[in-house]
Amino acid sequence: MGKTDFKKKIVLGVLFIFPLLVYLFFASGKNNFAKLPVLTADIIEISKLDSLTSIQFKEKITILGYWGGSLVDKKAEALNLNEKIYKRFYEFEDFQFVFLVSEKFSNEVDKLKNSLKEGVGTDLSKWNFINVSRNTIQTHFQSLKTPLKLSPEGSTPFVFIIDKNASLRGRNDDEDEGTLYGFDARSVAQINKKMIDDVKVILAEYRLALKIYNTKRDK
């Protein structure tokens, strides 16, 4: 290989990788150049508990929630997540929201979606509501293996980041919690200070991996 070809490959490598390294640097003050730790591997796919759903975690970056009670009570949490997380990241091809909803309140899903669309008419195609039994919600939640608890109705205000390998990602050195398994959707401050950063980090991680793969493939 000549010197000219070698220099071209160096330049191409810098052009592909350097912007992503800069993105990682600014994405999160706490997690610069680091992957989000895997806190629980191999979260059970919902389809194994409910054969009627085709939603998968594999090959997707998922924001996962458990809304077993009335969705009327979840409107504020939904609006927070929609404004701060969904609108910012939904255009990424492999990004999705998944919420397990009690069968008792399936009729409230459309009402909640209409509330989220008000004003700017957000594209909610990546908001996925899956109607399941309370037992299914409980069983799936337990597969996360967190110290958090569901309400008697099968609900929690916390949402979770699930990666493309169906693993729970979070922080194991959080200054407030020690280990941060999920994010309180009631808290705009926590979403702004932590969740946005962590979603940026995991998206940048996969974008960097894709760029490296494509660079190697083109050699």
Token digits for 181?
């398994």
C-alpha 199/C-alpha 41 separation (Å) is: 18
pLDDT score of 31: 43
Q: DSSP labels for 98-157?
A: EEEEEGGGGGGHHHHHHHHHTTT----TTEEEEEE-HHHHHHHHHTT--S----TTSEEE
- Find tokens 């669309």 and name the residue: 117
Mean pLDDT of the chain: 85
End-to-end CA distance of the chain: 12
pLDDT score of 7: 61
Q: Give this prediction's pTM.
A: 0.81
Domain ranges of the chain: 30-199
Name the CATH code of domain 30-199 (choices 3.30.70.100, 3.40.30.10, 3.40.50.2020, 1.20.1090.10): 3.40.30.10
pLDDT score of 118: 80
Q: How many CA atoms lie within 13 A of 159 on its CB side?
A: 31
Cα R_g (the chain), whole angstroms: 19
C-alpha 85/C-alpha 97 separation (Å) is: 10
- How does pLDDT run across 40-81, given as a tens digit for each residue? 999 999 999 988 889 999 999 999 999 998 999 999 999 999
Tens of pLDDT, residue by residue, the chain (219 residues): 565 665 665 655 555 565 555 445 444 444 444 689 999 999 999 999 988 889 999 999 999 999 998 999 999 999 999 999 999 999 998 999 999 999 889 899 999 998 888 866 678 999 999 999 999 999 999 999 999 999 999 999 999 999 999 999 999 999 999 999 999 999 999 999 999 999 999 999 988 766 664 565 555
Contact 43, 57 (CB under 8 A): yes
Token digits for 123?
């594209």
